[in-house]
Structure 1
Amino acid sequence: MALWDRLKESASSMQAQLMAQKNDLKSGAFRDAGMAMCALVAAADGTVDPAERQRVAQLIATNEVLRNFPADDLRRRFEDNLDKLTTDFAFGKVSVIQEIAKVKKKPAEARAVIQIGIVIGGADGDFDKDEQAVVREACYALGLPPHEFDL
């Protein structure tokens, strides 16, 4: 199976797993960690292009799990995290990873945040090395083995 096909299959599988947990993913910590993860993946290469912002906006608008939260609130949190990352990526990344780590004690939420990162990373058909690296870092922050997510 080609890498692209495996990536599409993995992202689809992650989305299905998120849907199965929709009712368990309603905490403020999950909301904050999910938006931090979206920003981290969008800024993984050090820049954020309009297409990446659009992918996250589309995810916020269409993802059933994220519909547990007001879309405007999610966008604001995403943009706040992006601001931290674009002002000073290294310093901002520390703050954003700390936000992600807040769900560490809730395994279902922690896994869901990683799955969101993979869905965002694969949305353009290219889950590149920079995106994989930041999702891997998030796995470590959450105490999850990256190999569980093929990272």
Structure 2
Amino acid sequence: MALWNRLAESARTVRGRLAAKRNELRGGAFRDASMAMCALVAAADGTIDPAERRRVAQLIEHDQVLRVFPAGELRGRFEGWLDRLTTDFDLNRAEALREVAKAARRPAEARAVVRIGIAVGAADGYFDAAELVVVREVCHLLDLPLHEFGL
């Protein structure tokens, strides 16, 4: 239960932290990495249901940081990743992780990508084990400490 409390607290603070970094997060690498991250979390259990698509669509529409990008463009990139993951999950999961890894060059972008993943995972009030595994894997990939995100 303590893990859930830490994750819930982390998810509540995500938007505030990301909003503070909004001006630093305007590049194409961040845009692409964040949409790949959203798709990875949404497809974490190997399936993609309509509720997960809606959660990400709402995040795209309402998140202060992501608002700097055209919503239609973000949705297109997210849906493109979902289509690819549906076609060949293992191959395209590796591709999505490579896209996310590009954010490692800029620490603020890397942290924001992880926080967006946490926000997507916790959007339904339940951060399931498969989503947690993806976020932890991305933290390792980006060389970010798990404890920084309450993971």
TM range (shorter): over 0.9
Alpha-carbon distance in structure 1 between the residues aligned to 2:104 and 2:140:
10
Report the alpha carbon displacement of residue 148 of structure 1 after superposing the two structures with TM: 2.1
Amino acid at match of 2:95: S
Whether contact under 8 Å (2:15, 2:64) holds in the other structure is no
| Match runs of 1:121-136 below 5 Å | 121-136=121-136
Is residue 20 from structure 1 mapped to residue 20 from structure 2 by the alignment? yes
Amino acid at match of 2:68: N
Q: What fraction of aligned residue pairs are identical, expressed as a percent?
A: 62
Question: 1:140 is matched with which residue?
Answer: 140
Number of paired residues? 151
Question: 2:34 is matched with which residue?
Answer: 34
Question: 2:63 is matched with which residue?
Answer: 63
RMSD: 1.4
Alpha-carbon distance in structure 2 between the residues aligned to 1:7 and 1:115:
11
Amino acid at match of 2:90: A
Instruction: Give TM-score, length-normalised by structure 1.
Output: 0.94
Whether contact under 8 Å (1:7, 1:125) holds in the other structure is no
Instruction: Give TM-score, length-normalised by structure 2.
Output: 0.94
1:141–1:6 Cα change, 3 Å = closer
Gapped runs of 5+ residues in structure 2? none
Alpha-carbon distance in structure 1 between the residues aligned to 2:83 and 2:150:
29
Whether contact under 8 Å (1:4, 1:125) holds in the other structure is no
Report the alpha carbon displacement of residue 150 of structure 1 after superposing the two structures with TM: 2.2
Alpha-carbon distance in structure 2 between the residues aligned to 1:15 and 1:127:
17
Higher relative contact order (CA 8 A, sep 6+): 2
Gapped runs of 5+ residues in structure 1? none
Amino acid at match of 2:133: A
Alpha-carbon distance in structure 2 between the residues aligned to 1:49 and 1:134:
17
Amino acid at match of 1:101: A
Alpha-carbon distance in structure 1 between the residues aligned to 2:93 and 2:74:
19
Alpha-carbon distance in structure 2 between the residues aligned to 1:150 and 1:32:
25
- Cα deviation 1:30-65 (Å, max 9, x = unaligned): 000000000000000000000000000000111111
